[in-house]
A and B are shown apart, each in its own frame.
Chain A
Amino acid sequence: MKKNDKSNLPMRTIDKSVLEGIVGKDNIKTDPSDLYIYGTDSSVHHAMPWAVVKPRTTAHVQGIMKYANKNLIPVIARGGGSGMCGQTVPIHGGIILDMKSMNKILEINLEDVYCRVEPGVVDDDLNLALEQYGVFYPPTPASSRIATIGGEIANNASGVRSVKYGATRDAVLGMKVVLPNGDLVSLGAHTRVEASGYQLHKLMVGSEGTLGIVVEATLSFVPIPEFRCMGVANFDVLEDAGKAIGSIMASGATPSMLELVDDVAIKAVNKTMDLGLKEVAAALIFEADGMVKEAVDYEINKMKKICEKHNGKDIHASYDPAERAKIFMGRKKLFPALSKYDDDLASTALADDMAVPYSKMAEMAAKIHEIADKNNIVMTAYGHCGSGCMHTKILMDTKRKDQWASAKKAISQVYEYVRSVNGTTSAEHGIGISKAESFKVEKADSLNLLITIKKALDPNNILNPGKLMQAPENWVTATNLRYAVNN
């Protein structure tokens, strides 16, 4: 589909007075300067919505959906707007449903071990509320200070501890969802297991706002461990670090965190932060946690030994929170460091979260560097490698048109490799617009199934149209880029 081909979506304008009747005057914005702001997220894309509406109740959401469905107006749910692939960018215009004001933690049920929240609750806030009871909600992405539960569900977010505790999909027990026609349905249950039917609540996880609007979620939580021990190992050869990851995971060890940072990342951190990290080819950060110290010791020692076997150096580990913070600082400061790596290079969210089988981790890391060199751009390899997820960031001069062409080529090559080893296009950030090209190739066999499901739930195609399997082939031209690119 070409950029301006909206043939399957008759373009309609919105009737502001109807929206006002539903949510009230104070909960709508239509000024172009506001719309411009809501046309962007943490991706490279930008497109203008027609209105931004802030529902405060489920009834508001139902009202908006009924109106939009009748008038064939696209509706795009938005949480923190921290998505990295353009999931919230209104590629065909429409109404942005800003869910951040549905922000109540409704219930913390310690007896039945679940909590109920509205979708606009911020992950860090939920964990702060849970902390006083000695429990935590573990899927927590790095963006937890801003990401909302609704956005995490729609993206199936995960984070550093997912290697042990799982992703959002594993923590969602049930939810209430408003369907495109305005109907409210309860999916899942308040129980740990459920065998009845198609598990529609799990289908909603990862649907990127294309099937329904989540208005309430029931989530499980786990006890905060008594002991946490973190270790680090340096490697002179990147492949060795990759091999160590594979061996750790195959050994049956249960790390609560297993992170890789490569030389580009380390250099970037040193350049900007003066942390004095040793400039090696790669470093692994590993953590084990538990209620019994001996058990944690056992896990840590196991991981240390494997690192040693794969030529790891300077290996040490600590229980001390201050020391752990020091070890993790390099990883934590990676984002600011990458953005400041070189004044002319911006850190772009592209091809940033593929996953490959453990045994391919080493090859993948090497491949990223090889592809970057070949295409004359800077790429870094790091990530939650314990769960098979490899992050990259493409550092490029966003003003130069040729850099976009190089980035596009490099990304295609990265994904080609990922698919060739039975990996997957996105491990946690989702597909949105930027990754649709590879997603469609990867899911070629099941694409029709996905389209059938979408049609069954959203026959008028009003929920976040133009994303996932509907996204244009070429992500560079799919929308305006949010950067100023010179000719």
Chain B
Amino acid sequence: MKTKTVKTKTKKFKHLGKWQDTLANCIRCGYCFEHCPMFHHTGWESDAPRAKIVTAFGLLTGEVEPSYSAIDKMFSCFYCLRCEAACSSGVALTKVFTDARKDLVEMDLQEGPGTTSTTTLQCARCLVCIEECPHEARFYDGKNIATDPSKCQSCGICVEVCPAGAATIEKSFGTSRNDLTKRASIFLQNHESAKAIVFACNWSYYPGLQASVLPDSETSGNDYEILVNMCGGRLEAQLLMAPFLNNAWGVMAACCPDDECEHKGYLNAKKQIEKLRKTFKNIDIDPERIQLVQIPAGNKTLFQAEIDTFIEKLNKMGPIR
């Protein structure tokens, strides 16, 4: 039997080390990856939660070199916790990831930013992002604004609050404003029946197929498309208005209930939607065309029911003239 012992080098993994039994207890069933928004976006297993557990194990045993690509995997996660909800072995996956991150930071090995937010040279050092970061991940290092990658949960709120557009998330896995706007317009332009775009936050479980695609004959008549953005905290006027420029009849946004939101994103979501509804009223467009719903994690049935009611309402209103 070829045996593996923890090598001297990897003794440095003092935070990750305590998870060694957990890493063995994970039965590697893969239940975690089908709901992972990162896997969903790239289709590569190596972007999925199980891959990170396997990588963490490899780092610990020395079988995986702490290469750029291995480290980048450990620093890429939106902390939506859908993997933990699906885990068949009760593994606290994100806690394992965070401890691996802590070790890598302490070893000065956080080479790739992964999904960690960063700050460009445009930064005016207004410190707003530090105040607004719900995870206390941003700080002023005496010269620049920096992010502690073992604290950042990639919710993207700093990106939205930065007045200089200096906060960015390099690897957005399809959740940047540009990506979302593009996907909304592709859907609206290619479906004659298209009426609405539904923006769902990463934390809500959206209904529908997770990893497969229906035949064109079944989807050509779709009247809405669900697009996953990071967090209600990231909803902003430009994103919400984009579908209307492509003749959408309405836009719906979903975020977590007040007491479930880990990033206080619901506050911004409410504010943004309310503001737009007022604008709509002023220009004589029915404000009901834009709507916010709060969905508890995992409640797909409620989500579907809300979508159905919204579409019904839009059908009564017809297109915007």
Q: Tell me the A residues contacting B by CB distance below 8 Å.
A: 29, 31-34, 36-38, 40-42, 52, 54, 80-82, 98, 100-101, 103-108, 117, 120-122, 124-126, 128-129, 143, 145-146, 272, 335-336, 339-340, 343-344, 346-347, 349, 398-399, 401, 404, 476-477, 480-487
A-B contact pairs, 29 of them (CB 8 A): A31-B67, A33-B55, A33-B67, A37-B45, A41-B28, A42-B29, A82-B29, A100-B43, A100-B211, A104-B212, A104-B213, A105-B213, A117-B212, A128-B209, A129-B218, A143-B31, A145-B34, A146-B31, A272-B90, A339-B26, A340-B25, A346-B24, A347-B89, A399-B24, A477-B1, A481-B4, A482-B28, A484-B61, A485-B4
B279 interfacial contact with A, CB 8 Å: no
B44 and A339 contact, CB distance less than 8 A: no
8 smallest CB-CB distances across A and B, nearest first, come from A339-B89, A125-B212, A33-B70, A125-B209, A335-B88, A37-B51, A121-B212, A34-B46
- A146/B30 contact (C-beta < 8 A), A336-B90, A485-B4 known: yes
Q: Once bound together, how far apart are the Cα atoms of A272 and B90, in whole Å?
A: 10
- Chain A nearest CB: distance from B11 CB in Å? 13
Interface SS majority for chain A: mixed
**How many inter-chain residue pairs (CB < 8 Å) link A and B?**
164
- A36/B88 contact (C-beta < 8 A), A82-B30, A120-B212, A484-B61 known: no
A401 and B1 contact, CB distance less than 8 A: yes
User: Which residue of B27, B55, B86 contacts A37 across the interface (Cβ within 8 Å)?
Assistant: B55
Closest to B66 in A: A33
- Chain A nearest CB: distance from B57 CB in Å? 8
B20 interfacial contact with A, CB 8 Å: yes
Mask of B20-62 contacts with A, CB within 8 angstroms, 1/0? 1100111111110110000000011110001100110110110
- A106/B215 contact (C-beta < 8 A), A272-B90, A339-B89 known: yes
B267 interfacial contact with A, CB 8 Å: no
Closest to A44 in B: B28
Residues of A within 8 A of B170 (CB): none
Q: Tell me the B residues contacting A by CB distance below 8 Å.
A: 1-6, 20-21, 24-31, 33-34, 43-46, 50-51, 54-55, 57-58, 60-61, 63-65, 67, 69-70, 73, 86-90, 208-215, 218
Residues of A within 8 A of B69 (CB): 31-34
Beyond A33-B65, A104-B213, A122-B212, list 14 extra A-B contacts (CB 8 Å).
Answer: A33-B67, A33-B69, A34-B44, A36-B63, A81-B45, A101-B43, A124-B210, A125-B212, A128-B208, A143-B30, A336-B88, A339-B25, A343-B21, A481-B2
Q: Once bound together, how far apart are the Cα atoms of A38 and B48, in whole Å?
A: 11
- Chain A nearest CB: distance from B62 CB in Å? 10
Residue among B4, B73, B218 having the largest count of chain A Cβ atoms under 10 Å: B4
Q: Once bound together, how far apart are the Cα atoms of A483 and B69, in whole Å?
A: 23
Q: Once bound together, how far apart are the Cα atoms of A483 and B3, in whole Å?
A: 9
Residues of B within 8 A of A101 (CB): 43
A126 and B73 contact, CB distance less than 8 A: no
Q: Once bound together, how far apart are the Cα atoms of A146 and B88, in whole Å?
A: 12
- A484/B210 contact (C-beta < 8 A), A80-B30, A146-B34, A340-B90 known: no
Residues of B within 8 A of A128 (CB): 208-209
- Chain A nearest CB: distance from B319 CB in Å? 27
B1 and A481 contact, CB distance less than 8 A: yes
Closest to A480 in B: B2
User: Which residue of A33, A37, A125, A476 contacts B210 across the interface (Cβ within 8 Å)?
Assistant: A125
A143 and B29 contact, CB distance less than 8 A: yes
Residues of B within 8 A of A143 (CB): 29-31
- Chain B nearest CB: distance from A152 CB in Å? 13
A81 and B30 contact, CB distance less than 8 A: yes
Closest to A41 in B: B28
- A347/B211 contact (C-beta < 8 A), A335-B89, A480-B2 known: no
A145 and B86 contact, CB distance less than 8 A: yes
- Chain A nearest CB: distance from B95 CB in Å? 15
Residue among A100, A121, A126 having the largest count of chain B Cβ atoms under 10 Å: A100
- Chain A nearest CB: distance from B212 CB in Å? 4
- A104/B46 contact (C-beta < 8 A), A33-B70, A34-B69 known: no
Closest to B216 in A: A104
A401 and B3 contact, CB distance less than 8 A: yes
B4 and A480 contact, CB distance less than 8 A: yes
Residues of B within 8 A of A81 (CB): 30, 45
Residues of B within 8 A of A146 (CB): 29-31, 33-34
Residues of A within 8 A of B65 (CB): 32-33
- A33/B73 contact (C-beta < 8 A), A346-B24, A487-B3 known: yes
B27 and A42 contact, CB distance less than 8 A: yes
Q: Once bound together, how far apart are the Cα atoms of A404 and B3, in whole Å?
A: 11
Closest to A34 in B: B46
B24 and A38 contact, CB distance less than 8 A: no
- Chain A nearest CB: distance from B44 CB in Å? 7
Closest to A54 in B: B43
User: Which residue of B1, B29, B33 contacts A476 across the interface (Cβ within 8 Å)?
Assistant: B1
Residues of B within 8 A of A33 (CB): 46, 55, 58, 64-65, 67, 69-70, 73
- Chain B nearest CB: distance from A100 CB in Å? 6
Residues of A within 8 A of B57 (CB): 482, 484
Residues of A within 8 A of B6 (CB): 484
- Chain A nearest CB: distance from B3 CB in Å? 5
Q: Once bound together, how far apart are the Cα atoms of A481 and B215, in whole Å?
A: 41
Q: Once bound together, how far apart are the Cα atoms of A42 and B89, in whole Å?
A: 12
User: Which residue of A37, A42, A272, A346 contacts B46 across the interface (Cβ within 8 Å)?
Assistant: A37
Closest to A479 in B: B2
- Chain B nearest CB: distance from A373 CB in Å? 23
B28 and A40 contact, CB distance less than 8 A: yes
Residues of A within 8 A of B88 (CB): 335-336, 339
Q: Once bound together, how far apart are the Cα atoms of A34 and B72, in whole Å?
A: 11
Closest to B5 in A: A486
- Chain A nearest CB: distance from B36 CB in Å? 11
Closest to B32 in A: A146
B20 and A484 contact, CB distance less than 8 A: yes
Residues of A within 8 A of B51 (CB): 37
Residues of B within 8 A of A145 (CB): 31, 34, 86, 210
- Chain B nearest CB: distance from A125 CB in Å? 4
- Chain B nearest CB: distance from A473 CB in Å? 14
Residues of A within 8 A of B27 (CB): 42, 335, 339, 346-347, 349
- Chain A nearest CB: distance from B84 CB in Å? 11
A105 and B34 contact, CB distance less than 8 A: no
Q: Once bound together, how far apart are the Cα atoms of A145 and B85, in whole Å?
A: 13
- Chain A nearest CB: distance from B109 CB in Å? 13
B67 and A103 contact, CB distance less than 8 A: no
Residues of A within 8 A of B43 (CB): 54, 100-101
Residues of A within 8 A of B210 (CB): 122, 124-125, 145
